[in-house]
Amino acid sequence: MTEREATPIKIGVLTSGGDAQGMNAAVRAVVRSALKLGCEPYAIMDGWQGAVDGGDAIRKLDWSSVSSILNKGGTVIGTARCARFRERAGLLDACEHLVARGIDRLVVIGGDGSLAGTNEFKEEWPSLLEELVRTGRVTPEDADAHAYLAVAGLVGSIDNDLVGSDMTIGTDSALDRILTAVDQLSSTAASHQRTFVVEVMGRHCGYLPLMAAVGGGCDYVFIPENPPEAGWEDDLAEKLQAGRAAGRRESIVLVAEGAIDKNGNKITTDDVCDALESRLGERPHVTILGHVQRGGTPTAYDRWMPTVLGYCAVKEVLDQRPGDESTILGVRHNRVARMPLMDTVHATRAVKTYTAQKSYDKAVEARGASFAQMLALNDIMSAPPKLDAAPEGAKRIAIMHVGGLAPGMNTATRAVVRLAIAKGYTTLGIEGSFKGLIDGEVRELGWEDVEGWGFAGGAELGTRRAIPTIEQFYAIGRSLENHSIDALCIIGGYNAYLAVQAMLDERDRYPAFAIPIVAIPASIDNNLPGSELSIGADSALNNAVWALDRIKESAAASRRCFVADAMGRHCGYLALMSALASGAEKVYLDENPVTLAEIDDNAQQMRKSFASGRRLYLVVRNEEAGGNYDREFVARVFEQTGEGLFDVRHAALGHLQQGGAPSSFDRVQATRLAAKAVEVIDDQLTRGGCEASFVGLDSTGITSHAFDEMKHMVDADKRRPLTQWWLSLEDLIGVVSRDEYDVPLPSLEYFNTAGVHSDGKDNE
């Protein structure tokens, strides 16, 4: 083997354009994945400016270079706009400096402008090399050794404006910031019966304000893809007045920074305030959120998903060959989607063209099916219906919670109530699960009764885990008849599903059970069939990651191993994903039972790691993992093996994982699942059917399944799905978190999809 052949492949990583939370997670994953794959990673500082400047602006990185950045906002390698990179001279400088370092593979994290510029650089690469050789700036040997530039793009943009990807890096965190602000403004606005007009980022894309309007229960939203009709000022005032008449004490109006009217004229917060002041006699308060939407700690999603993307990006640039086109790696239904770079950039930029041409239907269509759906749902849920009673003989849909508490239960209930009322149904709330139904704790829920439930934690209707017994079925049937319940919507966890199955088995004996029944998955355990993500799981994950961050901070002053238990029973979703998002070195899952020999091996490796200078080692356990090898046992083994080299602490994260307001994802997810449930119930009642089904999010989108399918989809003993999409990520923890010894490289085939689906993004 020649010296040149023995030279490790060198991979450059840069962040360009506006910063976005989660960029650091992607950089960390690129660097550590490159090292594990035998490559040398380099940071190109301050975006393309670093490539143009060369010298110290292109820095070789090692494992510790990206330590302790996973939970940081912004980008530690910097970002800047570089005018020289748009000129031939700047491109020549960048090419020369990269070749001098032996870099011919790039992972670029930025917006569509940065990625388009990157693709142009790649296309010009051969001619740049030719000119550099001709002018003596690069040797022919070096030019031959780096004749081809491989490029993979990751989109870092809080606007979520990439067509073909459900979510871009930073979007989830930005939406979380907006909803936190809206929740806080709502409380002060309600205290004084005020109106707030809030400006939200979104120059050309209305994703953030639209989803914030749905998740925050706002009254009105202005976005560039769906401008209001002429006379919007009167429509706005009427809707706010209707809301107050229906019982609202506050009004929140969201305005995208790129909001326009049908004629393309800009709509500002001042325009909205002027309109409301002239019609309602009181000037609203204005809040401009600004760059707080970009900053701060990234959410759990904006840590684990950029980590997956970073690993896949390294694999992508290693696999590319001359003639291959540049690619963007995005996300489709929790899978990594591989998309042609320029086709995707052109599709994304086309939306701006549609709005400029006033082709607003095309702009909405380009954003994807779920974007259009959320527009329609927001219109229904934000506008109070006429305060007339339900039509005579209206069918009655009852709603209850069953199982453990999950953040987002209230959001789902609110959505079911308002969407069902909009279809002409009467909605009932059953308090206290099946016990409440037996005791007659049933009350009508009107549009105004669920006001404010969208962002409230807990469960306003209460929830119990108990599955009804055979002795209780008669009383349940009588109560269904006494309250003239025509359909039942159950929001809850595994016990809710078992309860429905038990009712189905008794339909021959109890005719009252022969009504449409739909279960909506709500469980922090994320262990329900037919849904890859249950309501509450994302909120619980964020809570767990917050706690693990605090644990890591507490251990920073000493040499310590910390063993933490995450909830989940026999499902390891919370444990694995919180380990990945917090930077834990090891995770134990019930799905992959650990042996005593493995625990001992981990302890020995841990000892070597601390002896080499490590200060913290975080282990996350699924609460049921290991059987008798529980948290205390594992901690004792580690401590005894350490022999004083490091100390060991352990704790259960506990019920904080169930608490707090639902996350932005859980609010949007709950609304979409509720809409599907109402659609299924409406279809059954219209056709006179009595089927029982459960709804969920799978790899194709929001779907429903007959309860008969459940037995083929679950491990009944372990109470979890037979197929769990996230399990293939376990090996990735070893790649990005452990440098002490060889680890298996993950096969992410389940996460890779080819091309872009024809319906655009689904924004799951």
Residues with a known catalytic role: 159
Strand partners for 60 = 42
- Residue 379, burial from CB neighbour count under 10 angstroms (0-12, 13-18, 19+): middle
- 454: its two tokens: 């969208």
The region, left, alpha or beta by phi > 0 then psi within -120 to 50, assigned to residue 487 is beta
- 326: its two tokens: 């540049």
Angstrom distance (rounded) from CA 565 to CA 567 = 7
Q: Could you report how far apart the first and last alpha carbons of the chain are, in Å? A: 49
Run of H or E including 199: strand 195-200
- 413: its two tokens: 């209930």
The alpha carbon of 735 is separated from its chain's Cα centroid by a whole number of angstroms, namely 22
Angle at 325 between CA 320 and CA 328, to 5 degrees: 85
Angstrom distance (rounded) from CA 571 to CA 483 = 37
Residue 626: which of 673, 563, 698, 546 has the closest Cα?
Answer: 563
Q: How many CA atoms lie within 13 A of 283 on its CB side?
A: 7
DSSP for residue 46:
T
Angstrom distance (rounded) from CA 301 to CA 305 = 6
Angstrom distance (rounded) from CA 93 to CA 626 = 56
Residue 586: which of 712, 735, 715 has the closest Cα?
Answer: 735
For tokens 């917006």, what's the residue? 111
Backbone angles phi, psi at 444, to 5 degrees: -70, 140
CA dihedral 701, 706, 708, 712 (to 10 degrees): 0
Residue 425: which of 478, 375, 486 has the closest Cα?
Answer: 486
DSSP for residue 292:
G
Looking at this protein, which amino acid is placed at residue 523? S
Residue 763: which of 472, 290, 334 has the closest Cα?
Answer: 334
Residue 280: which of 228, 245, 229 has the closest Cα?
Answer: 245
Residue 692: which of 487, 530, 494 has the closest Cα?
Answer: 487
Angstrom distance (rounded) from CA 761 to CA 764 = 8
Angstrom distance (rounded) from CA 62 to CA 41 = 7
Angstrom distance (rounded) from CA 10 to CA 24 = 20
Backbone angles phi, psi at 137, to 5 degrees: -85, -20
Looking at this protein, which amino acid is placed at residue 661? A
Residue 485: which of 394, 424, 396 has the closest Cα?
Answer: 396
* Distances 707 to 85, 489, 498, 502 between C-alpha atoms, Å: 58, 14, 10, 11
For tokens 């491989």, what's the residue? 150
Angstrom distance (rounded) from CA 279 to CA 272 = 11
- Overall residue count recorded for the chain in this entry: 764
- Residue 187, burial from CB neighbour count under 10 angstroms (0-12, 13-18, 19+): exposed
Reported in sequence order, the residue ranges of 61-145 that DSSP labels E, i.e. its strands, are: 103-110
- 58: its two tokens: 């292109």
Reported in sequence order, the residue ranges of 558-610 that DSSP labels E, i.e. its strands, are: 560-566, 586-588
- 86: its two tokens: 């748009």
Backbone angles phi, psi at 563, to 5 degrees: -110, 120
CB 327 within 8 A of CB 752: no
